[in-house]
A and B are shown apart, each in its own frame.
Chain A
């Protein structure tokens, strides 16, 4: 049996509320299927499953808020036989269950092959006591005395939702500044060639197929990471773990306030056209509250641009467990020396915020130089 758990969707998430199940016991599921909707402090998320099989049991009911890592459902994996009515439970544990009024069928065993031990029974009974539950088991959960029902997400006021998101961001950013020794490097990039290339490209295209320059920036970051892969990593335990895949998280401001930074998966392998399509789709779904769990859990670096807000330089705060963030500022016509002459050029500042435990300034500088170089020849992106 496999367990489907409340996913962690970033450093700012400690718990989530199950909004709805999209599958029921007995339904077949395959890897990548969306099987539940979860509400976090930042957004409503569609949660994917990473196991193929059949839903055996749903352990958490809609409306329940549970910590990250809590088992939400049990999945009978493909190829595994059903064992109707057969529970792996020792006689001693069975007797204890009877004494404590625990239904063994509702207990998730932690022993070998899911065997239910006395400790499992005691744990369920203890949790039930603590909660004052009528039915002792891991499902269903019915309070003895009525308690305020969890607010349906839609019923929450925008202000409350915004406050929760602010708290989530505060927790993640405080953790980042507490734990990550940031260093910052900045460079100015002449965007003249990139903008001329883009303008020529877009001139021949129907409006629905035009590219935004932001997509060039995202792709340039992704490709530059191949040259400095230590920036494409997450901090786990006490060390950095480099990611083979490059999943750039893009910061997207939400209409009701706050922001999310979901991933564009395999960013470096997508063409600019694919990236543009996927970027527009990501922005749309982020603002509609229909991101997928993997999009929030997978970013290996974040890109943020505040140029449209008039910001010249962005000194970003790294989003844990990532180890780097790239910020882009406003593109402005500035005097620039080219071939010995002062000419007006569209200039943009790119800033790297990086974790000094993982990389140093020399490598960070090489990364920014690679981003600059790539943007001087966008046809290679």
Chain B
């Protein structure tokens, strides 16, 4: 498990991973409550790579059924924060 991360740190991590997957994306203009797929040119392969990277960086389990919770930036932050807290208990 990586050390405790603040919300801002988790957000930065998400944006960094997104930037690696979709280098052409303007990450500064991402709207936090709009689906990534509606804002970025990403497909199912990109999304899978995104989920794998989050899992590997944060050491959290991400069941396939939870993928929809990763659809937006705010959704991602909320989900990952909760999953990390669950894992730490």
State whether A255 and B48 are in contact (beta carbons under 8 Å apart), knowing that A203-B63, A203-B64 are contacts in the complex: no
Taking a contact as CB atoms under 8 Å apart, the answer to whether A212 and B45 are in contact is yes
Interface digits, B46-75 against A, CB 8 Å rule (1 contact, 0 not)? Answer: 001101100100000111110000000000
Taking a contact as CB atoms under 8 Å apart, the answer to whether A255 and B24 are in contact is yes
9 closest Cβ pairs, A-B complex: A202-B64, A283-B45, A207-B55, A308-B43, A212-B44, A207-B52, A255-B24, A208-B52, A207-B62
Total A residues in contact with B, Cβ cutoff 8 Å: 15
Interface digits, A202-227 against B, CB 8 Å rule (1 contact, 0 not)? Answer: 11000110101010000000000000
Residues of chain A contacted by B41 (CB below 8 angstroms): 253, 255
Interface digits, B28-50 against A, CB 8 Å rule (1 contact, 0 not)? Answer: 00000000010001011100110
Q: How far is the CB of B57 from chain A (nearest CB, A)?
A: 12
Chain B interface (Cβ < 8 Å from any Cβ of A): 22-24, 37, 41, 43-45, 48-49, 51-52, 55, 61-65
Contact with B22, one of A212, A255, A308 (Cβ below 8 angstroms): A255
Taking a contact as CB atoms under 8 Å apart, the answer to whether A210 and B48 are in contact is yes
- Docked Cα-Cα span, A256 to B65, in Å, equals 32
Chain A interface (Cβ < 8 Å from any Cβ of B): 199, 202-203, 207-208, 210, 212, 214, 253, 255-256, 279-280, 283, 308
16 contacts between A and B (CB under 8 A): A199-B64, A202-B64, A203-B63, A203-B65, A207-B55, A207-B61, A208-B52, A208-B55, A212-B44, A253-B41, A253-B43, A255-B41, A256-B24, A280-B48, A308-B37, A308-B43
- Additional 10 contacts, C-beta under 8 A, given A207-B51, A308-B37: A199-B64, A203-B64, A203-B65, A207-B61, A210-B48, A212-B48, A256-B24, A279-B45, A280-B49, A283-B45
Residues of chain A contacted by B63 (CB below 8 angstroms): 203
Residues of chain B contacted by A199 (CB below 8 angstroms): 64-65
Please name the residue on chain B nearest to A283 by beta carbon.
Answer: B45
Taking a contact as CB atoms under 8 Å apart, the answer to whether B43 and A280 are in contact is no
Please name the residue on chain A nearest to B23 by beta carbon.
Answer: A255
Q: How far is the CB of B84 from chain A (nearest CB, A)?
A: 16
- Docked Cα-Cα span, A256 to B52, in Å, equals 24
Residues of chain B contacted by A202 (CB below 8 angstroms): 64
Residues of chain A contacted by B49 (CB below 8 angstroms): 280
Please name the residue on chain A nearest to B48 by beta carbon.
Answer: A212
- Docked Cα-Cα span, A59 to B37, in Å, equals 48
Taking a contact as CB atoms under 8 Å apart, the answer to whether A280 and B62 are in contact is no
Residues of chain B contacted by A207 (CB below 8 angstroms): 51-52, 55, 61-62
Residues of chain A contacted by B37 (CB below 8 angstroms): 308
Q: How far is the CB of A214 from chain B (nearest CB, A)?
A: 7
- Docked Cα-Cα span, A255 to B41, in Å, equals 8
Please name the residue on chain B nearest to A256 by beta carbon.
Answer: B24
Q: How far is the CB of A39 from chain B (nearest CB, A)?
A: 20
Residues of chain B contacted by A208 (CB below 8 angstroms): 52, 55
Residues of chain B contacted by A308 (CB below 8 angstroms): 37, 43-44
Residues of chain B contacted by A203 (CB below 8 angstroms): 63-65
Q: How far is the CB of B43 from chain A (nearest CB, A)?
A: 5
Contact with B45, one of A255, A256, A280 (Cβ below 8 angstroms): A280
